Amino acid sequence: MSAISKLSPQAVWELFDQITRVPRPSKKEGQIIRFLENFATEHHLEHKTDQTGNVVIRRPASPSMQGRPVVVLQSHMDMVCEKNSDVVFDFEKDPIQPQITPDGWVKATGTTLGADDGIGMAAALALLIAQDIELPALEALFTVDEETGLTGAFNLGQGMLTGRYLINLDSEDEGELFIGCAGGIDTVARFPYRTEESAKNLAFFRVDITGLTGGHSGDDIEKGRANSNKLLTRLLWRGAKEVQLRLCKFDGGNLRNAIPREAHAVFGVPVPMVKAFFELYEAFVAEAHEEYRLTEPNLDIAVCEMPYQTETLDAASQRGLLYALQGVPNGVLAMSQAMPGLVETSTNLASVKFKEQGTIEVVSSQRSSLDGARFNAAATVESVFELGGGKVIHSDGYPGWNPNPDSHILEVTRQCYQKLFGQEPRVRAIHAGLECGLFLQKYPDLQMVSFGPTLRGVHSPDERLEIVTVEKFWKLLREVVVNL
């Protein structure tokens, strides 16, 4: 036992302490599945494991609670495995080493802590065996592989859930209740291109856009940050139109779900047009700095001369690509009417890469809390890419959870919070994916809410859990379950 098992509420911390000793990397959940199955057996609770590895453990209703609706407590059993480079640690074998910091947090020693979502699991297990409280029937669902593919939620087995109310225990801000998330879909275009011999009178340059803030393509999409691919396209498109610019290479962005922070292009300009190009370039740089003065203070645009390049894209390939990149929408497409301030639908132009064998791959993704709006955004992007000569494929995508500010579960949770802490909780939805959207696909009548204690630095070795918020989280969970 480590020191954290003495923290309050002890029932939760003891279980969290046990969970941190069980290795549970995403896609390697065998040991934690066995831990959960043994826990159920040991406490004489019915349990079931589906083919994907998701585990449900059931607690029958207390005598005074017969006939109350079944409540689902949901958490995920896998954790992100990140460590500092100077730490020797095997996530498939070694127990996490939790420690209490002087300022009231629990963190691990040079690794992720796995409070995302180990603390949610611990609360669910603690409630399954709580003896000091009369409870309705509970179903504690523990999913696999939330972090790297939502695999468990995607493949939730038949008959795993019977409850109508689901409390997701995977949120990171005490005092906030989450009632919605966005679904997503990727739209990838492959533009075939041909090259031709460069004209003899071309001078070649390279432009680099760097220093952008970037961020998550869902959570940060409304923050007014620049998209490096869009910004660079703007210069190239005008260059093609005004000074006969001829493109050789375009390379921008990287991660599928990130706002791109860098983009680079190599191109030629006819020698007689070089002066005009630089006028255009200077104007572009000034405009960009002016437009992104507040959101991109470190924006850096640089140009340098390049040696003579033997080939450029042919005129038709260049026109198709640049018109598609210029025309494709990017950023916020619609704000939610149900939840003021929430982005409802968005799209992000994630990367542009020249691949082998004459293709340029352009990756984008669309998000929306409304499935119809998500597919429509993907259709819009597809249309523009195909008009430019691209061949489009979409990923399967995953559904959103459209916020319902009038649901019974939210009303109960809000009242319980107010009664316990004398304060209104914040009600929020996020513009990123959660498992909840997928549960709705199989169980369309579920009412859901998500809350948890305060975590910071998740998915990094700085991950930490604020001790005082665990007590509030536990109290709220008990109160909500008995009042639904």
Stretch that binds Zn ion, among 163-171, 341-349, 388-396, 474-482 (CB under 5 A): 163-171
Helix (H, G, I), strand (E, B) or coil at 51: coil
Q: Which two tokens stand for residue 44?
A: 């004489």
CB of 173 to Zn ion, least distance (A): 13
Kindly state whether residue 29 participates in binding Zn ion, applying the rule CB under 5 A. Answer: no
146 is an active site residue: yes
Identity of the residue, 147 or 296, whose beta carbon is nearer to Zn ion in the bound complex:
147
What mask of x and - would describe binding to Zn ion in positions 36 to 65, judged by CB under 5 A? Answer: ------------------------------
**Angle formed by the axes of helices 467-483 and 10-20, to 10°?**
110
Catalytic residue among 146, 170, 251, 382: 146
Identity of the residue, 113 or 299, whose beta carbon is nearer to Zn ion in the bound complex:
113
Stretch that binds Zn ion, among 36-44, 54-62, 165-173, 181-189 (CB under 5 A): 165-173
**Residues in 90-119 at the binding interface with Zn ion, rule: CB under 5 A:** 116-117
251 is an active site residue: no
Measure the CA angle with vertex 469, ends 466 and 470; round to 5°: 95
Identity of the residue, 177 or 392, whose beta carbon is nearer to Zn ion in the bound complex:
177
Identity of the residue, 116 or 220, whose beta carbon is nearer to Zn ion in the bound complex:
116
Distance of CA 171 to the CA centre of its chain: 13
> Which residue carries 């480590």 as its tokens?
2
Identity of the residue, 26 or 402, whose beta carbon is nearer to Zn ion in the bound complex:
26
CB of 143 to Zn ion, least distance (A): 10
Helix (H, G, I), strand (E, B) or coil at 324: helix
CB of 146 to Zn ion, least distance (A): 6
Q: Which candidate, 145, 185, 353, places its Cα nearest to that of 265?
A: 353
Q: Which two tokens stand for residue 113?
A: 């802590």
Residues with Cβ within 8 Å of residue 444, at least 6 apart in sequence: none
CB of 473 to Zn ion, least distance (A): 14
Q: Which candidate, 45, 477, 436, 383, places its Cα nearest to that of 189?
A: 383
Binding residues for Zn ion, rule CB under 5 A, total: 3
- The end-to-end CA distance of the chain, in Å, is 35
Q: Which two tokens stand for residue 258?
A: 């990130």
Kindly state whether residue 170 participates in binding Zn ion, applying the rule CB under 5 A. Answer: yes
Facing residues of 198 across strands? Answer: none
Catalytic residue among 14, 17, 78, 145: 78
Which residues are near Zn ion by CB under 5 A?
116-117, 170
Q: Report, as residue numbers or ranges, the catalytic residues.
A: 78, 146
